Each structure stands twice: as C-alpha cells, then as structure tokens.
Amino acid sequence: MSTPPEHSLEIHRTIARQHAQRGELDAAEKSFLSLLDRQPQDVEALTFVADRQSARGEHAAAIQRLRIAVQVQRAEPAVWVQLASAQLAMGDFAAAATNFQCALSLAPRMFVARLQLGIALEQLGQSHEALKAYFMAIESARALGRWLDDATTAPALRHLVKYAVNYVNAGRHDLFRRALDPLRERYGSTELTRVERSLAIYFFEQPANIPDPRQKPKFLYFPDIASQPYYPRKHFPWLETLEAATATVRDELRAVLAEGSLEAFLGNTPAPTGQGMLRSSSDQEPAWDAYFFYRHGERYDEHCARCPQTTALLDALPLVRIRDHAPETLFSVLSPGTHILPHTGVTNTRLVTHLPLIVPPDCAIRVGGVEHVWQEGRCVTFDDTYEHEAWNRSEQTRVVLILDSWHPDLSEVERAAVTDLVEAIGDFNQSCEIPVAPN
C-alpha cells in the first residue's frame, strides 16, 4: 500500500526538522526542497530555504520564495520581516521599508524590525522618518530592559544600536534647537542662554546642578531661577482678583457638585491603592475627582459654559498656555479620608496655585517637607517639582480650584521659548507613539 501524500509531506518535514536541530543545515535544506517539490506553498519550507539562500547572498532567490510565503500567511509578521530583511540586504530600500511597515502594523513592538526600518528610511533620504523609527525602536527595546548597554544588547546588533542612539541624539537635538530659531533670530542668542542650558540638561549634556535636592522635575529643568517650595504673594498681583471671586466660584462649584458630573483625576481606571497614588484612612475607597476647565491645554467647552464666571476669571489670568500641554485648570475634589501620596511634577518653569473653596478640618498639603493648611479664599502657590502630597482626614469633601502660571523669574522671551520647545518635544513624542496591535 502506498503512503498517502500528506504523510509523505510530514515525513519530509520531520526529517528536515531533525537535520536542522542537529545543525545539519544543508541536509535540512535539501529535505525542505523535497517538500516544496510536493507542496510549493509550504511556509515553513519556504522560509527555511529562503533563510539559507540569504545566508549565501542569494537574496533575489530568497525574495522570490518569501513573496510566496507572505501571500500564504499575510498575518504572520515574522514572514514580512524576513522578506523585508532580504530586500534590505539586496539594496531595495523602498520595498524593504514598505514590508517592514507591514510587519510592524501587525506587531508594533518588534523593535529589531523597527531598527531595520530606520536603516531603510535613512537610505531613502527620509531622515526625519528614520529618526522616528530609530527612536521608537530604542524606546520599545528599553521598555523591555534591552539595549540599555552592551550586556543587554545582542553582540550582532551592538554597532547598529550605538549608531541609532547617536543618530537619535543628534537628530532630536537639531530638531528641538531649530524650534527656537525664530526667537533666536528675533531676540539674539543671549536672551535664550538659559533655555539653551535647559535643553542641554534635558539631553544630559550638562549636569542640572539643582541647588535644592528636594526638587526633582521629571521632564524639564530650567536653571538659574528661584527654587523654593512655596512662593510669596508679591510675585502674583492677580491673586487678589482671584481671591475676591471666591464666593462666586464656590457658588458655581456647588452647582457642579450637585450634578455629580465629576471624573477621576487619574483617569477611567479604578483609583490605585496600596503602593499607588492614593490611600484611604477610612473603610471607603480613596477618591480624587476633578471637574476640568482645561486639561493638557484642551478646553472643556461644556464645563466652561456651565461655570461662566469661573471661566471668565481663569481666562483673564496669566496662565501657562502650551498647545497639548497647558493650562490645566480644574476643581480638585478630595473625598473624605483620601491621601494623595508623595509625587513630583514635570517642570519648574511653571508654578501651581490653589484657591481653596471648601476646606473642612484636618486637610493640608505638604510641599518639600513643609506643611501648609489651606484657608478658604486664601491662595497658595507652590512648585510641584518638589515632592508634595495632600490629604483630607475629615469626614467631608475638600475642594480647591487649581491653575498653573509661569515661574516669575522667566522673561517673556524665555516663556515663548519654553512654549516652542515643549510643543516641539511633545509633537515629536506624539508622532512616535507605538500604535496598538490589531486584534
């Protein structure tokens, strides 16, 4: 009795795999070629033989086989990567870039493939797209503990990874410095000296030399300006106008609270507890809620319309205004028993002001180790790059109006420069966000 065809195929496959496992690659290739004689679209055989052909420099033959393989398994990213890698080796950079992108659309966190995409794009003269590809590859790898140093980088990739890191550092530095060119041309380099130093610190080209070790900005440190947890009122003449409107603002707040239209400050996920951002001193879940007028620079039109007098007041103040970043203005609502654990802010270029509206007993904020007890209608301004925390140990709700304003030591030119710089950094980072893989 003859052997069924499907059994014959599996015999060839088994023999080929056994040869491959023993390192007998020529014999394995021969067995897979025999399998392909019977089943020309077998992806395992196609990719193995193509890999052997690429190793011999027979890239055209490998590409021919891999084109068949991707038609059979279009949803398999590894096959697209193998095809693109062969095209890259052959110098067909346009085809390689297209097929690396196909692979990454299926598996966005394949950082080696994205590194190779960067090579193809650079060879095509698409320097900015190459910059993004290299940056995304490095960030993806480092998020998994890879490419941090030689020990976490495969030997075969070390030279290329170092090249990509240098390319990214130079490219981002040039991109962000060019964002300041219009102001540099208009006002001269001297006016931007501190901004240039801030950028150098951002790139770890200069030490920050922060005078107060309690200050720990997470994003952008601006040098040679005052550093202190709390700031005296004399720097902010507009505080009196804000405080004079306390009763009006509180009336609009009470209407908002009655509607129950708040959202969790920390997002839609359940408030983190334990080692997270919030703790509770009672049996109730901790809650830090918000009613935003602006968040990350985005205006909440419905909320602004609901509180017209508060909005008019805020719109008249010298708030930080940076596209997609600032201002951030809101009613901050801290539920009974809730403790916001110590944390630090992103930059010392801006300061945070609280207008306390509803303050029961046993509520306070601590900034840089210095405790402050809110007083209704009396503003407090602080630098949130100092470690700070807040708590409500009462059985009632605490509410403050929060807003951010420029650090008073920044000149108008420096404020404009920080705005342009942060927008440039933000735009680049947003363009490099890793998409979510399809289901």
Measured from the Cβ of residue 340, the count of other Cβ atoms closer than 10 Å reads 20
Q: According to the model, what pLDDT value does residue 172 have?
A: 97
pLDDT tens per residue across span 8-52: 778 888 999 999 999 999 999 999 999 999 999 999 999 999 999
| Omega prior to 327 cis, within 30 of 0 | yes
CATH architecture of 233-412: Sandwich (2.60)
- Residue 275, pLDDT above cutoff 50: no
Q: Is 306 exposed, middle or buried (0-12, 13-18, 19+ CB in 10 A)?
A: middle
Cα radius of gyration rounded to whole Å, the chain: 29
Residue 270 pLDDT > 70 = no
Look at residue 260 and tell me whether its pLDDT is greater than 90.
Answer: no
* 357 closest CA partner among 370, 344, 375, 334: 375
pLDDT at 2: 47
User: pLDDT tier at 7 (50, 70, 90 boundaries)?
Assistant: low
d(CA 95, CA 121): 11
Is residue 55 within 8 Å of 71, Cβ to Cβ?
A: no
Nearest to 387 by CA among 324, 427, 342: 342
pLDDT at 9: 79
Q: Average pLDDT of 428-434?
A: 94
pLDDT in tens, 221-246: 999 999 999 999 999 999 999 999 99
Summarize pLDDT for 406-419 with one digit per residue, the tens: 999 999 999 999 99
Could you tell me which CATH number the domain at 5-174 has? 1.25.40.10
State phi, psi for 162 to the nearest 5 degrees: -60, -40
Q: Is the pTM of this model over 0.95?
A: no
Report the distance separating Cα 351 and Cα 349, nearest Å.
Answer: 7
pLDDT at site 12: 80
Distance between CA 229 and CA 10 in Å, rounded?
Answer: 73
| Residue closest to 85 by CA, chosen among 77, 96, 94, 76 | 96
pLDDT, residue 5, reads 56
Note whether 44 and 79 are within 8 A (CB). no
pLDDT value of residue 223: 98
Tell me: pLDDT of 284 over 90: no
Compute the mean pLDDT over every residue in the chain, rounded to the nearest whole number: 94
In the 8-state DSSP scheme, what is residue 188?
Answer: -
- pLDDT score of 281: 81
Residue-level pLDDT at 268: 59
Going by pLDDT thresholds of 50, 70 and 90, the confidence category of residue 6 is: low
Would you call 323 helix, strand, or coil by DSSP? coil
Of 257-271, 347-361, 378-392, least confident by mean pLDDT is 257-271
Per-residue pLDDT tens digits for 71-120: 999 999 999 999 999 999 999 999 999 999 999 999 999 999 999 999 99
**In 3D, which of 34, 39, 31, 30 has the Cα closest to residue 14?**
31
β-sheet bridge partners, residue 124: none
pLDDT for res 283: 76
**Integer Cα distance of 230 and 328 in angstroms:** 19
Task: List the single range of 297-311, 361-375, 398-412, 424-438 with lowest mean pLDDT.
Answer: 424-438
- Which residues make up the CATH 1.25.40.10 domain(s) of the chain? 5-174
User: Tokens standing for 100?
Assistant: 């690396």
* Burial class of residue 218 in the structure, from the number of CB atoms within 10 Å of its CB (0-12 exposed, 13-18 middle, 19+ buried): exposed
Q: Is the pLDDT reported for residue 273 higher than 50?
A: no
Cβ–Cβ < 8 Å for 367, 230: yes
* Rounded distance between C-alpha atoms, residue 247 and residue 321, angstroms: 26
Instruction: Calculate what percentage of the chain has a pLDDT beyond 90.
Output: 90
**53-67, 76-90, 272-286, 396-410: range with lowest mean pLDDT:** 272-286
